[in-house]
Chains A and B, each alone.
Chain A
Amino acid sequence: MTGSDLVMYEEEFRKIDTELQKLHQQSNAKVVFLVDKNGQLIASAGETHDIDTTSLASLTAGNIAATGGIARLLGEKEFTILFHEGEKDNIHISLIGQRIILVVIFDSRSSLGLVRLRVKKAAEALGKIFEEITQKVEKEKGEGKLEESIFAEISDEDIDNLFK
């Protein structure tokens, strides 16, 4: 079950952050963020202060899941790009490597064409980084390095403390 847990390290996180900052800038977007298909927010860039990113992440994943369900009913593997147009803001959602969701929120300062172009480039770079992460986790698991992680010491008492 946990074989496909997502693990994020400092080094890769910085690389992802750099890519997102670049995409945010080059696409003239308001906000750019990255979500795991299960709804966990991975990273974000831009004007996130007045946005509830946790809820947005969960709903985006729900959206992708529902669209994926529709795709399979129609005999498609997946719809890899979703686009919602609003009065002021628009949202461009794309799937990277079947696992990660890239979300770009933009207004009239940008355009769908520009966003699509920049997303395509960023997706390649991000896809590579996530491949690296997968390889790193596999390697460390193989070498048993992860055993010294925090989980080794979790006790009943720790869990009781969470619920005090």
Chain B
Amino acid sequence: MSFINYSSREINCKIVYYGPGLCGKTTNLQYIYRRTNPGQKGKLISLATETERTLFFDFLPLALGDIKGFKIRFHLYTVPGQVFYAASRKLILKGVDGVVFVADSQIERMDSNIESLEDLGINLTEQGYQLEKLPFAMQYNKRDLPNVIPVADLDKVLNLRRVPGFEAVAVTGKGVFETLKAVARQVLFELKSHY
């Protein structure tokens, strides 16, 4: 659910990074934070455990620029990936405008990817959304590791909607901004179709 403010001439949209535990959601946000000009970003907030596992969410506000005199702001959130944080994950999806699913490309994580994607679908439905209709981008992360599944196979299993999919190595930044851009584009065009 976007916030369109004609008074301050701002449009705020919420994008959520979803995916199994340790797939690199927080790493995506950390890279975006490092590579954005100070004037374009706020603080990166991480509600994490002592071992740096996300406990509730990470939050990064981005103001990338203007469109037709309106400042476009994206609020990026990650969910806690670990299975037992299901209740928290559900809350963070409230009011979402677009979702990035970060998949872990390693063979042994395939089951976790599938489980997390199903969890996403269920949680969205509970919030009154349909994954099929939401702006959505897919990221295949950790492509630098030796034991990865070919992208074509990942696509076949995870990307049933055939949304834009990107190979990524979030620690080095490969594919990170491409993914964000793909979902941002869909979010803005979705707004266009409604207003």
Contacts and interface: CB of A to CB of B under 8 A. Distances in A.
**Most chain A CB inside 10 Å of its own CB: which residue of B5, B72, B90, B177:** B5
Interface string B131-169: 001100000000000000000000000000000000000
A40 interface: yes
A149 B1 CA distance: 17
A4 B95 CA distance: 9
B64 A162 contact: yes
Contacts of A37: 94-95
A1 B72 contact: no
A150 B1 contact: no
A88 to B, nearest CB: 22
A74 interface: no
Interface residues of B, number: 48
A6 to B, nearest CB: 5
A8 B1 CA distance: 13
Contacts of B61: 54-55, 58
A12 B6 CA distance: 10
B177 A163 contact: yes
Given A37-B94, A162-B72, A156 B5 contact: no
Contact of A38 (B1, B7, B8, B69): B1
B45 interface: yes
14 contacts: A2-B2, A6-B4, A8-B6, A38-B1, A52-B43, A54-B61, A55-B61, A58-B45, A69-B87, A150-B70, A152-B192, A154-B191, A161-B65, A162-B65
